């Protein structure tokens, strides 16, 4: 055997496939990774500190900046937590709109993930295909709240605007189109022999490991644990809706891939039911600008597209929260990376990293 | 015209061969070796031995030199500058004796015999000769090469197995 | 003395000058053809990928008066402006780079790829130099591209480039073996290494039919040799940024880029020559030497027609390359190696043995 | 199980511990910092409690003391528990639980980074979000920074 020297390589923070500004310090032996040390914090804006200087209303736009691919989830989780603190009920229509938006955002996020995973593996076409449909969802958001990336749509007590006029027709048309396009996505990757070779039995996370590292969302479900906050600790109107929780069994990259595609289908189902049942009425109750929750603490969480998005808010009875802790799913999901990468090949780094579906702003906060 | 080309190529060969020995950066030395190989192929072309020239390029500069470069890159010795070599004297003696032997062979070979062969296309004749007259040596050489290959593989396998065992202990 | 000199010059013009002029002319034509082809190919690749991915691709480009024409022609001037931009860009040399090696690498790769055009027969007699050992010549010359990739990887003094260099060396060396073996079948059937003779040997039936396995192996190996996706492991942009040419800018990068496409044309032309009957029509049909159409006679029609047929076939192969590129993800380096050594190589041996047996039985 | 049942079980096993309930948070109990590690170990391994998921750890600066909050959840039993520890300013350190829950590793690093609370026995206690040479602990209430703008009410 030729003895090769150990080789230190810096992957990121500016690297095309670290999905943001993650930096991995890799110790390589030839093509094999001996040790991978993630370095994070390049996007740290101290969002938790900023919360202490803002009123409850003022903080909503900042929650968009957590997970900018699913910013509806950041909004939702925060608004839900504050509403629990305030102990208010919001109109049914607002609840439905919130859920529709969250699920649309979940689809958009999973589509983006699908595209970037394919891109990491060297296939460019799935990326464009996924973005083609994601674009339509973004158009829908733009029509609803005027923004395409950071929506700032949810308000304490409802949502900022009612749905646009032809929202339901457009949605139905789009969902039909998406259902037609799903087989295309599958054709490109699901049973492609190269894709299977790259993803089957790679980056396996056992269910014990997933629990130990506190993984949530699709990464946890792919390891075989049937847990979804939408079912396990239902919030909003999820108990009224009929949908399945898909699970994987091995916890390899392919499982995580297939599970997310399945989740897109479930989200389509949820949106369709919501559109059916959508009640009329007000989309928002008016709260004073200076809301003062009574002294107390709350930890409230929702199922974002990446897992458990939670807000731990401590109120001291004043205008501003005393402390806000953001429990971001990607933070725990990423912490497993150095264990996963040990002993893998360089080419698998991007596949494994991509399959975890991390998003850096929410890790760095 | 041919003479000019010949001396030009010979000059390149000698100069780059000298550089191969004297250059301190081992990667540059390997590149010079490739230049030498290509220039030698040029000499073959001048002698109308097209097949030999192409095989020279294909095997020596295409495979062997690349393997050398590969090894150089993997071992990263380039940073170490080798100032002198203890075996210079021995090398000189061996080179001198080899040169003498070459001269001896050149002087005692009957060069007339080979000329006619090339008329029907070199590759045709080489093929005929290898498959009819020299079949046995040809096969023997291939078996020797195969044995060498297998030997190399088994040696490295054994070594790595031993290492694995050591690591397990 | 003057008379002697005058005589010498006259003699030179009489005997040597036409030869030199011809050589110069063919050289210029070759380079011009290569550059134009490459410019066109890059545009074609962008257009094809756009069609596959339901995009528009290049549309509007250039100064205002040309932009409209460009739009009508589907943005065909895109590569021209790209090349112009790259020409005018600053040449950045990394600080600790091995400068001589770093800047000679693109030159070597471009020279090597130009050299391969010499033996491609575009039509009957339409070849710069119809070498006796044309096929071997192409194989020999194409090895220079490996050297240049290694030079680029080493010279950049960048770890990503070095990794790219390693990978490419390993990949190209291991794919060269089944590639050459897959061509042996064609050599046996044609009984020659001269490319024009190989074409003429396909008068009755194209070699893709008796040599289908060989064709498949050659096609797969040539994707790997070209470093094109899905086998673009040396430059895998998601892992190694751009592999061996990460550090190149301006013309250095352009050389790599152009030679990649030039090589694709050569390989496609080679596939056409070796397996698809070169400039010949299928089923032994022949082109008329002069074509009369509506009273207009086109002289030398068979010459133009042959070139046209050759180019059509070549572009079909190129389209196939592009189709594959924009469809598949990229395998891992070790999977690629396993595929070459454990699947392609035994298959090419099988092909060789089968072809030899077939020829013997046929002759008996 | 609800909090009362959980508390009952805990009190049986840890008779010397007081388990003061938090009036602000219906899921939280205050425990002694010395007992925390063994308590966490117990609630993780106990079959009836089975807290297999550490949601997060965080700290709160109450100016005259620090509070650590450990949020646990059990997938199989579907119940939550928050353990709270009060740390006096004089002794800002506590035993790490990162060998029980791997999640705790990064969470504890984050708290060390932003609050300056030390975790003993932590395998790799470095700053995680801030640069390594950063001075001060940004999430403390008394933290000032020259570019920090405090908005008027």
pLDDT(B82) > 60: no
C50: chain A residues, CB-CB within 8 Å: none
Q: How far from A291 is each of A86, A159, A340, B162, C321, CA to CA, in Å?
A: 8, 17, 45, 73, 64
| Interface probe, candidates A125, A188, A192, chain C, greatest C C-beta count within 10 A | A125
| Interface probe, candidates A43, A247, A312, chain D, greatest D C-beta count within 10 A | A312
Q: Do chains B and A touch (3 or more CB pairs under 8 A)?
A: yes
DSSP result, B102-164: HHHHHHT--TTTTGGGGGG-HHHHHHHIIIIITHHHHHHHHHHHHHHHHHHHHHHHHHHHHHH
Shortest distance, CA A174 to any CA of chain C (angstroms): 17
Measured CA to CA, the distance from residue C252 to residue C271 in angstroms comes to 29
Q: Which residue has the higher pLDDT, D48 or A180?
A: A180
Q: Please state the domain count of chain A.
A: 1
Q: How many CB contacts within 8 angstroms connect chain B with chain C?
A: 68
Q: Which residue has the higher pLDDT, C286 or A112?
A: A112
Quick: pLDDT tens for A254-301: 888 888 888 998 999 888 888 888 888 888 888 888 888 888 888 888
What integer is the mean pLDDT of B66-76? 74
Domains of chain B, first to last: 2-82+120-168 (1.20.120.1200)
Question: CB–CB of C165/C154 below 8 Å?
Answer: yes
* DSSP single-letter state for residue A214: T
Q: What is the pLDDT of residue C162?
A: 77
Query: Is A325–D153 a contact, with Cβ atoms under 8 angstroms apart?
Result: no
Quote the mean pLDDT of chain C: 80
Reported confidence tier of residue B91, pLDDT bands at 50, 70, 90: confident
CB-nearest partner of A122 from C53, C55, C230 = C230
Structural domain contains residue A241: yes
Query: Is B27–C101 a contact, with Cβ atoms under 8 angstroms apart?
Result: yes
What integer is the mean pLDDT of A16-39? 80
Reported confidence tier of residue B70, pLDDT bands at 50, 70, 90: confident
What integer is the mean pLDDT of B48-60? 82
pLDDT(A237) > 90: no
Strands D28-31 and A158-159 turn out to be unpaired
| Interface probe, candidates B25, B29, B55, B69, chain C, greatest C C-beta count within 10 A | B69
Distance of CA C175 to the CA centre of its chain: 16
A195: chain C residues, CB-CB within 8 Å: 329
Q: What is the pLDDT of residue A1?
A: 38
Percent of chain A with pLDDT over 70: 97
Q: What is the pLDDT of residue C288?
A: 67
CB-nearest partner of A4 from B74, B156, B163 = B74
Shortest distance, CA C253 to any CA of chain A (angstroms): 19
Please report where in the chains the tokens 């250095």 appear, as a residue.
C252
Q: Do chains D and B touch (3 or more CB pairs under 8 A)?
A: no
CB-nearest partner of C133 from B25, B54, B70 = B54
Tell me which chains share at least 3 CB pairs under 8 Å with chain D.
Answer: A
Structural domain contains residue A144: yes
Quick: pLDDT tens for A70-108: 888 888 989 988 888 888 888 888 888 889 989 999 999
C235: chain A residues, CB-CB within 8 Å: none
- C103: left (phi > 0), else alpha (psi -120 to 50), else beta? alpha
Q: What is the pTM of this model?
A: 0.79
Q: Which residue has the higher pLDDT, D79 or C26?
A: D79
Q: Which CATH class is domain D3-120?
A: alpha beta
Question: CB–CB of D113/D139 below 8 Å?
Answer: no
Tell me which chains share at least 3 CB pairs under 8 Å with chain A.
Answer: B, C, D
Cα atoms in the Cβ-side hemisphere of radius 13 Å centred on D141: 14
Measured CA to CA, the distance from residue C182 to residue C353 in angstroms comes to 11
Query: Is D58–A312 a contact, with Cβ atoms under 8 angstroms apart?
Result: yes
C54: chain A residues, CB-CB within 8 Å: 128-129, 132
Q: What is the pLDDT of residue B140?
A: 92
pLDDT(A15) > 70: yes
Cα atoms in the Cβ-side hemisphere of radius 13 Å centred on C303: 6
Structural domain contains residue A310: yes
Q: How far from D77 is each of A217, B111, D1, D49, D80, CA to CA, in Å?
A: 18, 95, 7, 7, 9
Between CA C64 and CA C68, with CA C65 as vertex, the angle to 5 degrees is 85
Does D50 touch chain A if contact means CB atoms closer than 8 Å? no
Does A308 touch chain C if contact means CB atoms closer than 8 Å? no
Quick: pLDDT tens for A185-209: 888 888 888 888 888 888 888 888 8
Q: Which of A247, A262, A223, A100 is nearest to A171 (CA)?
A: A100
Query: Is A325–D25 a contact, with Cβ atoms under 8 angstroms apart?
Result: no
Quote the mean pLDDT of chain B: 79
Question: CB–CB of A269/A263 below 8 Å?
Answer: no
Reported confidence tier of residue A2, pLDDT bands at 50, 70, 90: very low
Q: What is the pLDDT of residue B117?
A: 52
pLDDT(A161) > 90: no
C147: chain B residues, CB-CB within 8 Å: 31, 34, 61, 65-66, 69
Which of B110-119, C305-314, D29-38 bottoms out in mean pLDDT, i.e. has the lowest?
B110-119
Question: CB–CB of D13/D42 below 8 Å?
Answer: yes
Q: What is the pLDDT of residue B115?
A: 55
Reported confidence tier of residue D151, pLDDT bands at 50, 70, 90: low
What integer is the mean pLDDT of C76-80? 81
Q: What is the pLDDT of residue C16?
A: 67
Structural domain contains residue A1: no
pLDDT(B97) > 90: yes
What integer is the mean pLDDT of D78-90? 85
Does A192 touch chain C if contact means CB atoms closer than 8 Å? yes
What integer is the mean pLDDT of B72-93? 68
Q: Where are the domains of chain C?
A: 1-88, 97-363
Q: Which residue has the higher pLDDT, C184 or C164?
A: C184
Percent of chain B with pLDDT over 90: 11
Quick: pLDDT tens for B29-45: 888 888 898 888 888 88
- A contact set with D (CB within 8 A): 40-41, 44, 46, 48-49, 53-54, 209, 211-214, 225, 227, 232-233, 295-299, 301, 308, 310, 312, 314, 319, 322-323, 325, 327, 331-332, 335-336, 339, 364-365
Reported confidence tier of residue A36, pLDDT bands at 50, 70, 90: confident
Reported confidence tier of residue C26, pLDDT bands at 50, 70, 90: confident
Tell me which chains share at least 3 CB pairs under 8 Å with chain B.
Answer: A, C
CB-nearest partner of B51 from C101, C133, C165 = C133
pLDDT(C147) > 70: yes
Which of A173-177, A185-189, B19-23, C244-248 bottoms out in mean pLDDT, i.e. has the lowest?
C244-248
Does D48 touch chain A if contact means CB atoms closer than 8 Å? no
Q: Do chains C and D touch (3 or more CB pairs under 8 A)?
A: no
Shortest distance, CA A162 to any CA of chain D (angstroms): 31
Q: Is this prediction's ipTM beyond 0.90? A: no
Tell me which chains share at least 3 CB pairs under 8 Å with chain C.
Answer: A, B
Reported confidence tier of residue B120, pLDDT bands at 50, 70, 90: low
Residues in contact with B18: Cβ distance below 8 Å, sequence separation at least 6, in sequence order: none
Q: What is the pLDDT of residue B78?
A: 47
A198: chain C residues, CB-CB within 8 Å: 329-332, 335
**Which domain CATH number covers A246?**
1.10.645.10
Please report where in the chains the tokens 């020659």 appear, as a residue.
C192
């Amino acid at each position: 055997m030729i003895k090769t020297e150990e080789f230190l390589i810096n992957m990121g923070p500016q690297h095309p496939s670290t999905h943001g500004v993650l930096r991995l310090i890799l110790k390589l032996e030839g093509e094999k990774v001996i040790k991978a040390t993630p370095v994070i914090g390049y996007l740290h804006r101290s969002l938790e500190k900023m919360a202490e200087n803002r009123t409850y209303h003022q903080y909503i736009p900042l929650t968009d900046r957590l997970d900018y691919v699913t910013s509806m989830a950041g909004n939702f989780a925060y608004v839900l937590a504050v509403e629990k603190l305030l102990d208010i009920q919001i109109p049914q229509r607002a609840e439905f709109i919130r859920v529709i938006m969250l699920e649309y955002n979940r689809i958009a996020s999973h589509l983006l993930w699908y595209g970037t995973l394919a891109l990491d593996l060297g296939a460019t076409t799935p990326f464009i295909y996924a973005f083609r449909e994601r674009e339509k969802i973004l158009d829908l958001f733009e029509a609803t709240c005027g923004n395409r990336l950071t929506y700032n749509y949810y308000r304490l007590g409802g949502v900022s605007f009612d749905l646009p006029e032809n929202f339901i027709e457009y949605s139905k048309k789009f969902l039909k189109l998406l259902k037609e396009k799903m087989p295309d996505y599958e054709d490109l990757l699901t049973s492609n022999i190269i894709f299977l070779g790259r993803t089957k039995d790679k980056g396996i996370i056992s269910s014990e490991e997933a629990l130990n590292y506190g993984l949530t969302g699709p990464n946890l479900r792919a390891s075989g644990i049937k847990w979804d906050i939408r079912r396990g600790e239902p919030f909003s109107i999820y108990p009224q809706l009929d949908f399945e929780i898909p699970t994987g069994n091995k916890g390899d990259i392919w499982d995580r891939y297939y599970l997310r595609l399945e989740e897109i289908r479930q989200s389509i189902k949820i949106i369709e039911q919501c559109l059916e049942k959508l009640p009329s009425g007000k989309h928002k109750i008016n709260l004073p600008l200076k809301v003062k929750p009574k002294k107390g603490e709350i930890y409230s969480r929702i199922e974002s597209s990446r897992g458990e998005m939670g807000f731990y808010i401590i109120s001291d009875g004043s205008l501003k929260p005393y402390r806000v802790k953001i429990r971001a799913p990607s933070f725990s999901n990423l912490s497993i990376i150095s264990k996963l990468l040990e002993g893998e090949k360089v080419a698998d780094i991007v596949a494994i990293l991509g399959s975890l579906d991390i998003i850096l702003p929410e890790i760095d906060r | 015209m041919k003479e000019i080309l010949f001396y030009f190529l010979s000059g390149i060969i000698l100069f780059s061969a000298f550089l191969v020995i004297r250059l301190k950066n081992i990667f540059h030395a390997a590149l010079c070796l490739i230049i030498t190989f290509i220039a030698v192929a040029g000499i073959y072309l001048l002698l109308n031995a097209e097949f030999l020239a192409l095989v020279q390029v294909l095997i020596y500069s295409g495979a062997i030199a690349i393997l050398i470069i590969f090894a150089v890159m993997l071992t990263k010795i380039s940073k170490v500058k080798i100032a002198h070599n203890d075996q210079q004297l021995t090398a000189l003696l061996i080179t001198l004796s080899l040169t003498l032997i070459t001269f001896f062979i050149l002087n005692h070979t009957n060069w007339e015999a080979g000329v006619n062969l090339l008329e029907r296309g070199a590759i045709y004749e080489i093929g005929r000769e290898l498959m009819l007259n020299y079949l046995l040596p040809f096969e023997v050489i291939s078996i020797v090469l195969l044995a060498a290959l297998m030997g190399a593989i088994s040696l490295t396998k054994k070594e790595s197995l031993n290492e694995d065992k050591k690591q397990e202990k | 003395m003057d008379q002697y000199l005058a005589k010498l010059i006259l003699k030179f013009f009489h005997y040597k000058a036409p030869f030199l002029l011809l050589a110069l002319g063919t050289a210029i034509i070759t380079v011009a053809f290569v550059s134009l082809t490459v410019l066109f190919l890059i545009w074609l690749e962008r257009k094809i990928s756009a069609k596959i991915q339901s995009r528009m691709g290049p549309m509007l480009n250039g100064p205002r008066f040309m932009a409209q024409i460009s739009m009508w022609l589907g943005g065909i001037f895109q590569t021209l402006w790209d090349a112009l931009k790259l020409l005018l860009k600053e040449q950045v040399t990394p600080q600790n780079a091995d400068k001589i090696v770093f800047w000679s690498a693109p030159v070597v790769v471009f020279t090597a790829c130009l050299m391969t055009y010499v033996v491609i027969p575009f039509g009957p007699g339409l070849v710069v130099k119809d070498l006796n050992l044309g096929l071997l010549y192409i194989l020999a010359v194409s090895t220079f591209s490996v050297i240049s990739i290694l030079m680029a990887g080493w010279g950049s003094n960048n770890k990503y480039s070095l990794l790219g260099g390693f990978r490419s060396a390993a990949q190209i060396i291991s794919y060269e073996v089944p590639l050459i073996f897959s061509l042996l079948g064609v050599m046996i059937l044609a009984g020659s290494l001269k490319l024009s003779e190989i074409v003429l040997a396909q008068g009755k039936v194209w070699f893709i039919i008796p040599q289908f396995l060989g064709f498949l192996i050659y096609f797969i190996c040539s994707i790997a040799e070209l470093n094109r996706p899905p086998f673009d492991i040396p430059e895998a942009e998601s892992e190694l940024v751009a592999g061996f040419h990460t550090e190149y800018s301006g013309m250095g990068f352009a050389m790599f880029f152009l030679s990649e496409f030039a090589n694709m044309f050569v390989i496609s032309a080679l596939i056409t020559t070796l397996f698809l009957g070169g400039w010949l029509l299928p089923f032994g049909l022949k082109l008329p030497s002069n074509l009369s159409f509506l009273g207009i006679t086109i002289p030398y029609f068979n010459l133009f027609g042959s070139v046209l047929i050759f180019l059509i076939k070549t572009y079909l192969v190129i389209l196939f390359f592009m189709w594959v590129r924009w469809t598949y993800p990229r395998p891992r380096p070790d999977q690629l190696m396993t595929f070459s050594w454990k699947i392609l190589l035994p298959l090419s041996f099988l092909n060789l043995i089968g072809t030899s047996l077939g020829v013997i039985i046929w002759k008996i | 199980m609800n909090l009362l049942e959980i508390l009952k079980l805990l009190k049986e096993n840890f008779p010397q511990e007081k388990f003061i309930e938090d009036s602000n948070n219906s899921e939280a109990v205050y425990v002694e910092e010395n007992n925390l590690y063994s308590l966490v170990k117990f609630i993780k391994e106990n079959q009836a409690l089975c807290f297999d998921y550490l949601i997060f750890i965080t700290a709160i600066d109450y100016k005259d003391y620090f509070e650590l909050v450990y949020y646990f959840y059990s997938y199989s039993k579907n119940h939550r528990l928050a353990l709270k520890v009060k740390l006096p300013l004089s002794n800002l350190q506590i035993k790490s639980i990162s060998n029980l829950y791997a999640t705790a590793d990064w969470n504890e690093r984050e708290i060390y980074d932003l609050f300056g609370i030390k975790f003993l026995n932590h395998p790799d206690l470095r700053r995680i979000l801030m640069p390594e040479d950063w001075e001060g602990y940004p999430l403390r209430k008394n933290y000032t920074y020259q570019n920090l703008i405090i908005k008027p009410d």
